[in-house]
Amino acid sequence: MKRNAYTIVEILIAAAIVALGLAAAVTLAHSMLLQQVNTSRVARAGALQAQIATLYRLGYDAANITNILPESFVAAGNPGTNGYLLQFLASSNTATGPTSVEITNCRLIYNSARQTDGSLVFDTNDVVLVRPSIR
């Protein structure tokens, strides 16, 4: 007897293997998308902090910097999903030779990811900024 067709068991096994492969591909695509979003948030915060450092070195103070940049800054507390919290800490003058410089710590707090339960993850970037004293 010649057999030309597949049995129902063979078809179900093949369908299960295909479904398992599709589920793995969808899971991988989803995790790659989340990673890309998180990476872009971290890169954007790094670029923003570089812009803040440049404006500080040009002589702007914290209030003017937050007004110049297009991002939304909060004064205190939780910056939210797309906001940033900018703090300048421990400003001091240090004399080095014939000129004096201003040294401050610039802290930027931002949302870098979202956990599986929906809560936000916040990261902090601290950078020490130095500029010649202009005051």
Domain edges within the chain: 8-132
Tell me what the mean pLDDT of segment 88-115 comes to.
77
Residue with the larger pLDDT of the pair 95 and 5 = 5
Strand-pair partners of 19 = none
Q: How much is the pTM?
A: 0.71
Residue with the larger pLDDT of the pair 124 and 94 = 124
Tell me what the mean pLDDT of segment 72-84 comes to.
80
Q: Give percent of the chain above pLDDT 70.
A: 91
Q: What is the predicted pLDDT for the residue at 96?
A: 64
Q: Give percent of the chain above pLDDT 90.
A: 19
Q: How far is CA 36 from CA 14, 33, 41, 113, in A?
A: 33, 5, 9, 10
**Helical (H) or strand (E) element with 123:** strand 120-132
Sheet holding 120-132, edge to edge: 73-74, 84-96, 99-114, 120-132
Tell me what the mean pLDDT of segment 16-31 comes to.
95
CB 94 within 8 A of CB 133: no
CB 48 within 8 A of CB 41: no
